[in-house]
Structure 1
């Protein structure tokens, strides 16, 4: 993980490269005045009618990042002032850009990382997207984008259910890229869908598609981010 810049250096940062821009903000790789890199989610150019949901999502991400403070292979929260969210930069590629084909070690580490998140009382809730899984420069997994993360008591039934859904999404990626290494237990987990997943596909996902494709005019592109 690249060392984070100081608050003063971030205050004088310049954009190094745009990473993503959609209706909920612009995400850019920034270079601080001290030359160090970090990632910024900027809400200042969000349309007026979307500012409240964009702010709520950014605030949720900030809370999620605060929950995983100090945990390796996750972004670290650097600052959140209601308009810009700054987090640490991790050099790597999205899973779909550098698929971990046959890499059992990657998926073992990914499961341990996911378990560490869950022990801290955080469920990610958006791990079906390959764009939210990184393959770092040394091949380790990392998890990004905590906009939909939920925090709570890890022993509660609700958090256990969400944690199980996180695991199912990871196992789907393992089935795609490392199928021969799936264990009998993992295969059973994949076969057993929850009522939450069924409810999402019957009600939530159709609404999500209408909002993103017809109103916001972008498509999820199977987890690879908005189409240009």
Structure 2
């Protein structure tokens, strides 16, 4: 009889906010974010981030090309596994179809009242086996009314981050409208660079000792 207890297949990421592992259970592969080993002084922010991800995944349940929430008990968050490579591992160079599909995916997520809020990281964009896009890691996601001014602003920032990746890998296909959007900086972006980012860098690099790009965790 097959064991009902999930077993770990591989560690995907480990940092001060928890451990993310690829697991195998009776229904197949899934991904687990485990807060059990989080230091006591980081348990509250780690819990808030995991809870935020759980709520965002609930809001986009059934949305293709995004993780599906399998369980959240306050310590472990389980989500569906999606095979694919991070954008930086398999860059969609010159692939206009990828970026068109990625924009449609963002629009669908935003219509569900969710803004991802962390799409500058190429690690949060997947290139699926069929070449299509997917989005993961919703722990900084924001939920709200899709047509509210705040959510429209966040949605526009999500789109700007996607267009930055398009500029990197598919520059020749940027439209005039997209080029204008890239040049427009919102007050939110300017405030982040003036105040939030210096604090973020101090905390992640000096206190948490993260050394990689944008706090994706400590280097192995």
Q: Shared topology, TM-score over 0.5? A: yes
Deviation at 1:53, TM superposition (A): 0.4
The TM-score normalised by the length of structure 2 is 0.97
Aligned equivalents of 1:220, 1:116: Cα separation in 2: 31
Pairwise CA RMSD of aligned residues? 1.4
Between 216-225 and 170-179, report the one with greater CA deviation: 216-225
Of 15, 19, 24, 1:26 maps to 19
Which residue in the other structure is 1:97 paired with? 89
Kept in 2: contact 1:131–1:225 (CA 8 A): no
Deviation at 1:221, TM superposition (A): 1.8
2:61 pairs with 1:69: yes
Cα-to-partner distance string for 1:84-137 (whole Å, 9 max, x where unaligned): 000000000000000000000000000000000111110000000000000011
Give unmatched runs, 5+ long, in structure 1: 1-8
Deviation at 1:35, TM superposition (A): 5.9
The TM-score normalised by the length of structure 1 is 0.93
Cα-to-partner distance string for 1:56-78 (whole Å, 9 max, x where unaligned): 00000000000110000000000
SS at match of 2:92: coil
Give the paired residue count: 219
Give unmatched runs, 5+ long, in structure 2: none
Moved >6 Å (runs of 4+): none
Which residue in the other structure is 2:8 paired with? 15
Aligned equivalents of 1:170, 1:200: Cα separation in 2: 18
